[in-house]
């Protein structure tokens, strides 16, 4: 694929790079920690405060802010008129804390309509960006020398949901979660043992399926014979 250098130079010239410290400072002011309170606290405390409201670390937030400006994924790219750290932070908070509309109004001092519009806008951008973040290492599909025997660790994660309506029955048993004893969706999340990297996600699936069933139908088919995973007793066959 050819690259138009004029377009590339214009895109890079418009980059707005923020450090983790810059993002943390502005974010904490947004949620009630003024500069004096931040300066009196340790860096560990301020990072903990940031995570309590936004889930990710300041470094992760800074990386996402840059990635949304530089990605080659069309649906994830943040254009100049859309570039607003305030709204991205609002999306982080919405995803992590899922506040009621009035709580969100009180924190961000904007209307519910604005909160929902921009939170969901940036959630869509972040979801599209996942295509460049959740990647399966190419060498794991080969018998190349140096590829370890143990590759990854996997676990099933259930996320609570409203119960899907069954076409004929009053209850949908296929959605029942043995973990929460209610309707859920299951996600199979796989991490590399050797680096801080999510390599595979399978889901959402109705939580009535066991972790073992989900593993057999999906991830197991991706792993070369002779390679091993670290898992809990739920995957013991």
Question: Which three-class secondary structure string do you get for the chain?
Answer: CCCCHHHHHHHHHCCCCCCHHHHHHHHHHHCCCCHHHHHHCCHHHHHHHHHHHHCCCHHHHHHHHHHHHHCCCCCCCCCHHHCCHHHHHHHHHHHHHCCCHHHHHHHHCCCHHHHHHHHHHHHHHHHHHHHHHCCCCHHHHCCCCCCCCEEEEEEEEEEECCCCCCCCCCCCHHHEECCCCEEEEEEEEEEECCCCCEEEEEEEEECCCCHHHHHHHCHHHHCCCCCEEECCHHHCC
Question: First-to-last CA distance in the chain?
Answer: 46
Phi, psi of 198 (to 5 degrees): -80, 125
Written as six digits, the tokens of 100 are 């009621």
Contacts 24+ apart (CB under 8 A), 27-33: 27/53, 27/54, 27/58, 27/61, 27/89, 30/86, 30/89, 30/107, 30/108, 31/93, 31/107
Q: What is the pLDDT along the chain (237 residues), one digit of tens a residue?
A: 444 554 554 455 578 899 999 999 999 999 999 999 999 999 999 999 999 999 989 999 999 999 999 999 999 999 888 999 999 999 999 999 989 999 999 999 999 999 999 999 999 999 999 888 888 888 888 877 778 888 889 988 888 888 888 788 777 788 888 888 888 889 999 999 988 889 999 988 888 888 888 888 888 888 888 888 888 877 665
| pLDDT at 236 (0 to 100) | 64
| pLDDT at 1 (0 to 100) | 46
CA distance 81 to 90: 17
| pLDDT at 155 (0 to 100) | 87
| pLDDT at 34 (0 to 100) | 95
| pLDDT at 10 (0 to 100) | 46
């Amino acid at each position: 694929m050819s690259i138009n250098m004029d377009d590339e130079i214009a895109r890079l010239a418009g980059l707005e790079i923020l450090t983790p410290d810059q993002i943390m400072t502005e974010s904490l002011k947004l949620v009630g920690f003024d500069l004096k309170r931040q300066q009196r606290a340790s860096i560990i405390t301020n990072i903990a405060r940031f995570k309590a409201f936004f889930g990710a670390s300041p470094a992760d937030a800074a990386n996402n802010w840059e990635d949304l400006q530089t990605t080659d994924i069309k649906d994830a790219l943040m254009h100049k008129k859309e570039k607003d750290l305030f709204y991205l932070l609002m999306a982080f908070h919405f995803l992590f804390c899922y506040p009621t509309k009035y709580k969100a109004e009180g924190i961000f001092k904007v209307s519910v309509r604005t909160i929902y519009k921009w939170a969901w806008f940036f959630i869509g951008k972040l979801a599209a960006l996942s295509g460049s973040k959740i990647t399966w290492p190419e060498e794991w599909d080969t018998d190349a020398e140096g590829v370890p025997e143990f590759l990854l660790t996997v676990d099933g994660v259930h996320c609570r949901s409203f119960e899907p309506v069954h076409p004929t029955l009053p209850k949908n048993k296929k959605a029942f979660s043995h973990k929460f004893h209610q309707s859920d969706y299951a996600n199979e999340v796989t991490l590399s043992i050797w680096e801080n990297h999510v390599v595979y996600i399978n889901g959402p699936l109705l939580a009535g399926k066991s972790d073992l069933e989900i593993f057999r139908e999906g991830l197991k088919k991706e792993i070369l014979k002779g390679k091993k995973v670290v898992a809990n007793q739920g995957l013991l066959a």
